[in-house]
């Protein structure tokens, strides 16, 4: 987290602005001082804006709840606190505005819920496939590691947790276990389609037929 604003530290920048403000109230502020103070204030504001999402991220990484963060952020609910964070934080996924980031996060969660519900409805099929994949042997150490992760996921209660490790095994099964690889790809495609359909329904756009 940077603590510099142009040629000043954040503390020095704030002190400069406060000094010009005090002299202006006393009738001693010059036009040049005011313009300089405004420029520093703009840079300070931009710097501080970057601090907030960084500090929130750090707090969340230390298990501070959204409910506990809400009063510190000046909002009244955990939902509002999270919404503020999503508006402020930088993104690498293409969303340009805070509202787009909020919408993208909500769409992802809706997709996750839809896929989890589908996985629960198809738990028997998922677990049977995972059992077959986890029993594969004779692969390279790296490939075997991914297969073993499927076996570990089988011990968990949530069948949706099988999808990521299963998908990761696909490239390692295609050469020697084409049938298993095809079944893994089919399930992965179904999960992807469920996410896409959920997004389309939330956006209000008609689904586009796949070619």
| Per-residue confidence (pLDDT) for residue 182, from 0 to 100 | 93
pLDDT digits (tens, 9 = 90+) for 21-40: 898 888 887 888 889 888 88
On the question of pLDDT at 91 being above 60, the answer is no
| Per-residue confidence (pLDDT) for residue 211, from 0 to 100 | 36
Task: Single out the residue in 65, 90, 115 at which a domain terminates.
Answer: 90
Q: Is residue 115 part of a domain?
A: yes
**By residue range, what is the domain housing residue 78?**
4-90
| Per-residue confidence (pLDDT) for residue 118, from 0 to 100 | 93
pLDDT digits (tens, 9 = 90+) for 44-84: 887 887 888 889 999 999 999 999 999 999 989 988 898 88
pLDDT band at 99 (very low <50, low <70, confident <90, very high): low
Would you list the DSSP string of the chain?
---EETTEEHHHHHHHHHHHHHHHHTT---HHHHHHHHHHHHHHHHHHHHHHHHHHHHHHHTT--HHHHHHHHT-SSHHHHHHHHHHHS--SSS--SHHHHHHHHHHHHHHHHHHHHHHHHTHHHHHHHHHHHHT--S--HHHHHHHHHHHHHHTSS-GGGGHHHHHHHHHHHTTT-HHHHHHHHHHHHHHHHHHHHHHHHHHTPPPPPP-
One domain for residues 55 and 141: no
Identify whether the C-beta of residue 150 lies closer than 8 Å to the C-beta of residue 133: yes
Task: Single out the residue in 63, 90, 117 at which a domain terminates.
Answer: 90
Please indicate whether residue 209 or residue 200 has the higher confidence score (pLDDT): 200
One domain for residues 81 and 130: no
Number of compact structural domains in the chain? 2
Q: What tokens appear for 107 in the block?
A: 């769409």
- Which H or E element spans position 180? helix 178-203
Percent of the chain with pLDDT over 90: 40
Q: What are phi and psi of 207, to 5 degrees?
A: -60, 145
On the question of pLDDT at 209 being above 50, the answer is no
On the question of pLDDT at 194 being above 80, the answer is yes
Q: What is the dihedral sign for C-alpha 130, 134, 140, 141?
A: positive
Q: Is residue 190 part of a domain?
A: yes
One domain for residues 189 and 117: yes
Q: Is residue 26 part of a domain?
A: yes
Q: Is residue 96 part of a domain?
A: no
One domain for residues 64 and 143: no
Q: What are phi and psi of 6, to 5 degrees?
A: 60, -125
pLDDT band at 87 (very low <50, low <70, confident <90, very high): confident
**What average pLDDT score do residues 87-106 get?**
63
Q: Which of 142-151, 166-175, 195-204 has the lowest mean pLDDT?
A: 195-204
**What average pLDDT score do residues 3-28 get?**
79
| Per-residue confidence (pLDDT) for residue 100, from 0 to 100 | 67
């Amino acid at each position: 987290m940077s603590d510099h604003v142009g040629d000043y530290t954040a503390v020095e920048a704030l002190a400069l602005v406060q000094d010009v403000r005090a002299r202006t109230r006393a009738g001693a502020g010059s036009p040049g001082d005011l313009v300089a103070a405004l420029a520093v204030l703009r840079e300070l504001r931009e710097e501080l804006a970057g601090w907030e999402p960084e500090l929130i991220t750090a707090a969340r990484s230390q298990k501070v709840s959204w409910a506990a963060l809400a009063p510190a952020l000046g909002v009244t609910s955990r939902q509002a606190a999270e919404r503020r964070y999503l508006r402020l934080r930088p993104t690498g996924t293409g969303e340009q505005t805070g509202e787009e980031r909020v919408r993208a996060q909500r769409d992802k969660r809706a997709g996750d819920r839809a896929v989890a519900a589908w996985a629960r409805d198809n738990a028997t099929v998922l677990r049977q496939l995972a059992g077959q994949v986890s029993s594969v042997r004779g692969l390279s150490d790296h490939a075997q590691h991914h297969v073993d992760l499927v076996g570990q996921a089988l011990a968990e209660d949530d069948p949706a947790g099988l999808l990521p490790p299963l998908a990761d095994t696909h490239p390692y099964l295609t050469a020697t276990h084409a049938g298993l690889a095809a079944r893994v790809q089919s399930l992965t495609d179904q999960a992807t389609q469920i996410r896409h359909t959920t997004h389309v329904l939330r956006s209000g756009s008609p689904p586009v037929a796949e070619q």
